[in-house]
Chains A and B, each alone.
Chain A
Amino acid sequence: MANKKKFPWKEDQSAEHNATEVLPSLAAAFFAQGRDLTPQAAPDGLHNFRIQAKSFRDTLELFRPCYDRRLEQLLKLLRDMQQILGEMNDLATTRRLLTDYGLEQSRPRLLDSLDTRIQEKVNQFFSVWKKTFAPVRKEYRWVNYLARRA
């Protein structure tokens, strides 16, 4: 997985130079993983993607000083998408907690309602992904921006 590999930093180069060399490939990896997602793969696939998106955004934020204000617009798109995945995860976490404590028998309606809401979040995610990230031009926009030096 992309976030396990060692980053190829060039020690004789500036932070800006390194960011423009390395971050575009992180963006490409993020888009590639997103493109592979299918509603059938949810929720495990979405859970892994949520983790990758988090680590991608955290890494971009580490390089905030190297980019202009447009980075904030891109980060906002990520945050909005992560919000949906986060809400989906909250519902799944609650469901797991109730099951772990053996409460699924006594509260079947609650679990059904959680399942319905999880599915709504899955649908919402795919709708946002399709509109905001899936078109190839969107990936180019990210990769080109991150590769450009000030």
Chain B
Amino acid sequence: MNKKLMRLPIEEYAKAQTKTLLERLALQIGQTAKSTDPESVHDLRVEVRHLVNCFRVFTQFFPDQASKKIRRRLQALKKLAGEVRTLDIALEVIVSRPGVQDEGLSAWLKNERKKTEQELSKALQRWTRRKFWRKWRGMIDL
């Protein structure tokens, strides 16, 4: 419970929460750009999801055009991270299957993962270079 925050008018509260989530996403993008290990990719998807939900819940407090544009970009990033995540899941599920070894399949999945990981990594470096969060804060008046 945070008495100061909870007493804010809903619009101010919405913007405070959005700003916090945007900062968390920026931080996570920086971390995943450095290391695309499975946990980091998962955390990135979680942060994107939280921010997308925040825009959905508080949609009336943001300019329509800007909010739509941001959500589109977030969905694109989530999709890219999702492709890596799907392969991580498959590797985890298959490796954890008791009593069955499938080296060929594991090797193929690892190879696919490497390819999608490179694409994600490039995209994240672009996001970091362009300092998206500064631009977005201006677009939605945070």
Contact = CB atoms under 8 A, between A and B. Distances in A.
B10 A62 contact: no
Nearest to B46: A58
Contacts of A97: 86-87, 90
A11 B11 contact: yes
Interface residues of B, number: 34
The 6 lowest CB-CB distance pairs between A and B, nearest first, are A15-B13, A65-B2, A16-B6, A65-B5, A58-B53, A66-B6
Interface of B: 1-3, 5-11, 13-14, 17, 49-50, 53-54, 56-61, 86-87, 89-90, 92-94, 97, 100, 102, 105
Given A14-B7, A110-B97, A93 B102 contact: no
Interface string A90-118: 11011001100001000101100110000
A113 to B, nearest CB: 6
Interface in A23-68: 54-55, 58-59, 61-62, 65-68
B86 to A, nearest CB: 6
Contact of B102 (A15, A67, A110): A110
B100 A9 contact: no
B97 A113 contact: yes
A1 interface: no
Residues of A contacting B: mostly? helix
A93 B90 contact: yes
Given A7-B60, A65-B2, A15 B10 contact: yes
A14 B7 CA distance: 5
Nearest to B52: A58
A109 B100 contact: yes
A113 B98 CA distance: 10
A150 B4 CA distance: 13
A67 B1 CA distance: 5
A119 interface: no
A18 B61 CA distance: 14
A6 B60 contact: yes
Given A55-B53, A62-B17, A107-B102, A14 B94 contact: no
A59 B10 contact: no
Given A54-B49, A103-B105, A113 B100 contact: yes
Contact of B90 (A7, A68, A94): A94
Contacts of A58: 49-50, 53
A148 interface: no
A13 interface: yes
Nearest to A91: B93
B9 A6 contact: no
Contacts of B94: 94, 110
A59 B49 CA distance: 11
B1 A66 contact: yes
